[in-house]
Structure 1
Amino acid sequence: MKKTLLTTGLVGVLMAGAAVPTSAISDSGSTPLPGTGAKVEVSAWQCNAYADKCSFKTSTKAKKGGVKYNVSKITNTATVKANGWQATLALSPSGTQVSENTRQVSWTNQNTWIADISGIADPGGSINTSVTTCSDGGAFKSGVKAFASACAND
């Protein structure tokens, strides 16, 4: 489910160093963690309008009844892509280069409920460049695992 959210002055302050967006785009997904009653919830967020750089954030959370649920291992992979003719992408943190216009950053935590990634995307190479941020996450506990994904794009 795609959502457009209006930002506040506080968000603009938190995003110093990046272009201040006029709005943000987010997406989320979830799946049950079998036999636990918990869910793996994944979200992706990015700025919608920018002049130079675009902030992004991805998250994987394990929750049961809306409350934090500790798992053995929880992972999150952010895939950020610059879209457009001859688009290029620089990313902070740099991550792994998938192609000239795509980077991935992964994070894994143990014995907790959350794995987050955030950074700045710097698309280039095309006047009509847009950004897509995807979040792929998974959780593992007591021999069971579950994965979910979400993509935010403008």
Structure 2
Amino acid sequence: MKKILLTAGLVGALLVGTGAPTMAISDSASTSLPGTGAKVEVNAWQCSAYTDKCSFKTSTKTRKHGAKYKVSKITNTATVKANGWQATLALSPSGTMVSENTRQVSWTNENTWIADISGIADPGGSLNTSITTCSDGGAFKSGVKAFASACAND
């Protein structure tokens, strides 16, 4: 997991008037798709500093020797959680409510190499301290399947 730390002064300078993310926190993982020589790669990214809303993106990809590798079915589920006491979360796209502070969005593609999701998280509640974005992905081809997970948090 990679983390980027910013001082309070730098965060303030970077966010003045924008409320937009300035840098990203990310995580990735991969696993082999048995019998194919391909790998299933999952990625999770989110903003590292925000004043109101935080952008996020997740993906599942299949590659063989670095090149795109088409599979029968590829899925990605983004789980976004607001961490903190009495935290709440609104998400765009809205997704499925898991709890007051957690939402999930899923996407499935067929006969391709990628499934990805992106959106905006809007955390609320008192003493909300951080966001966590997780990516769970799977790929299926010729009767075999593989899954991987990655989580980015600050």
TM-score normalized by structure 2?
0.89
Q: Which residue of structure 2 aligns with residue 106 of structure 1?
A: 106
Q: Which residue of structure 2 aligns with residue 150 of structure 1?
A: 150
Task: Indicate the larger mover: 19-28 or 87-96.
Answer: 19-28
Q: Which residue of structure 2 aligns with residue 14 of structure 1?
A: none
Q: CA deviation at 1:116?
A: 0.3
Q: Which residue of structure 1 aligns with residue 9 of structure 2?
A: none
Aligned residues: 143
Structure 1: where are the runs of 5+ without partners?
7-17
Q: CA deviation at 1:3?
A: 4.7
For the aligned residues, what is the CA RMSD? 1.6
SS in 2 for 1:126: coil
Superposed CA deviations along residues 50-92 of structure 1, whole A, max 9, x for unmatched, are: 0000000000000000000000000000000000000000000
Q: 1:120 to 1:108 in 2, by over 3 A?
A: same
Q: Which residue of structure 1 aligns with residue 116 of structure 2?
A: 116
Q: 1:118 to 1:141 in 2, by over 3 A?
A: same
SS in 2 for 1:129: strand
Taking the aligned partners of 2:72 and 2:3, their CA distance within structure 1 comes to 31
Which residue type is aligned with residue 21 of structure 2? P
Taking the aligned partners of 2:149 and 2:2, their CA distance within structure 1 comes to 13
Which residue type is aligned with residue 105 of structure 1? V
Taking the aligned partners of 1:117 and 1:74, their CA distance within structure 2 comes to 13
Taking the aligned partners of 1:57 and 1:23, their CA distance within structure 2 comes to 13
Q: Which residue of structure 2 aligns with residue 63 of structure 1?
A: 63
Q: CA deviation at 1:109?
A: 0.1
SS in 1 for 2:126: coil
Which residue type is aligned with residue 75 of structure 2? T
Q: CA deviation at 1:129?
A: 2.5
Matched, 1:28 2:28: yes
Q: Which residue of structure 1 aligns with residue 45 of structure 2?
A: 45
Identity rate, percent? 87
Superposed CA deviations along residues 76-115 of structure 1, whole A, max 9, x for unmatched, are: 0000000000000000000000000000000000000000
8 A Cα contact 1:78 1:105, kept in partner? yes
Taking the aligned partners of 2:116 and 2:3, their CA distance within structure 1 comes to 19
Matched, 1:141 2:141: yes
Taking the aligned partners of 1:4 and 1:147, their CA distance within structure 2 comes to 27
Q: CA deviation at 1:20?
A: 1.5
